[in-house]
Amino acid sequence: MTPSRLARRVWLRCGVMLLAFTAPGLSLAAPPLLLAEVLRGDVDVTRYWVSEKLDGARALWDGRSLRFRSGRPVNAPEWFIAGLPAEPLDGELWIARGQFEALSGIVRRKAPRDEDWRRVKFMVFEQPDGAGSFSERIDSLRAIVARAGVPWLQVVEQFRVADRAALQARLDEVVKGGGEGLMLHRADAPYVTGRSDALLKLKPLFDTEATVIAHLPGRGRLEGMMGSLLVETAGGVRFQIGTGFSDVERRAPPPVGSQITFVYRDLTQDGVPRFASYLRRREAF
């Protein structure tokens, strides 16, 4: 067994022990997860399973505890946790298309409310450290979820496409219906973590994160409010974002130092995002 796989297995088996012995106020290290690359170039899409990209909160179940991608515990009701199986699962806490803000408010509460959590589903799409190819792990996930038999645990629908035209048609259908985009997972891929072309994302616009550097004042109708944000990407590129904000957000913009998510069409030769538009403040899940 490689060191990385051993580390994943130790994390999965000892997650509750780590939680028990972590000092109050300190967060656990983020668990290793598979992260998507962007679909570009001449990729043979027939080699991939395709699913809708859900607009929710990534969560990892280690068989005993449920955590966000940051490593922080999810404060879910006892009945929600009790219905989950012994096998590790990777997925998304989700309500429905266009319901991210509502979902965020529910899952971030320290004291969970049953009536809110009845709306939440754990949509699983991967089996951490699972054996075999992704196609085989899909079958395994379906069997695990069927045995659990609880309505809040579901498998994300996976399907195949015949060609790029069929993929584009499904993307158009999902986006028209209010969805974000599509995810492509290579059918023959073993379980891996980190950023990998085993998992690709396809959206009408790209999205990424940046840090707020400064608030720039508005003019005209926006006088007295924030006009745009000066932000910096992880690669050190600084630029302004002036669109995508409501008046409420302009009156109380994301604070300096916070992380935001924005969408953009492409990059200039200098690496500056073109047609960047604010999407939301990035939550520390």
Average pLDDT, the chain: 89
Tell me the pairing of strands 266-267 and 226-232: unpaired
Of 21-25, 31-35, 56-60, 124-128, the least confident:
21-25
Rg (CA), the chain: 20
Q: What residue numbers bound the domain in which 256 lies?
A: 206-281
- Same domain, yes or no: 213 and 128: no
Last residue of a domain, one of 186, 202, 218: 202
User: Residue 41: what pLDDT?
Assistant: 84
At residue 11, the pLDDT reads: 38
Q: Output the CA–CA distances (angstroms, integers) from residue 224 to 52, 92, 120, 193, 240, in the order listed.
A: 41, 39, 39, 46, 18
The confidence score (pLDDT) of residue 4 equals 40
The helix/strand/coil state of 222 is helix
Q: Both 196 and 223 in a single domain? A: no
Look at residue 17 and tell me whether its pLDDT is greater than 60.
Answer: no
Which entry of 53, 110, 121, 176 is annotated as an active-site residue?
A: 53
Laid out side by side, the sheet with 226-232 consists of 238-241, 226-232, 206-217, 259-264, 277-281
Instruction: Give mean pLDDT, residues 83-99.
Output: 96
Q: Say what the pLDDT of residue 28 is.
A: 62
Q: Is there a catalytic annotation at residue 53?
A: yes
Residue 270 is predicted with a pLDDT of: 86
pLDDT tens string 126-170: 999 999 999 999 999 999 999 999 999 999 999 999 999 999 999
Residues 31 and 110 in one domain: yes
The candidate with the shortest Cα–Cα distance to 100, out of 81, 120, 124, is 120
Check whether residue 77 and residue 216 sit in a common domain: no
**Percent of the chain predicted with pLDDT > 70:** 89
For residues 108 and 93, give the distance between their C-alpha atoms in angstroms, rounded to a whole number: 11
Instruction: Give the integer Cα–Cα distance in Å for 34 and 56.
Output: 16
Q: For 108-122, what is each residue's pLDDT tens digit?
A: 999 999 999 999 999
Within this chain, do residues 262 and 275 fall inside the same structural domain, yes or no? yes
Same domain, 31 and 119: yes
CATH of the domain at 271: 2.40.50.140
pTM of this structure: 0.72
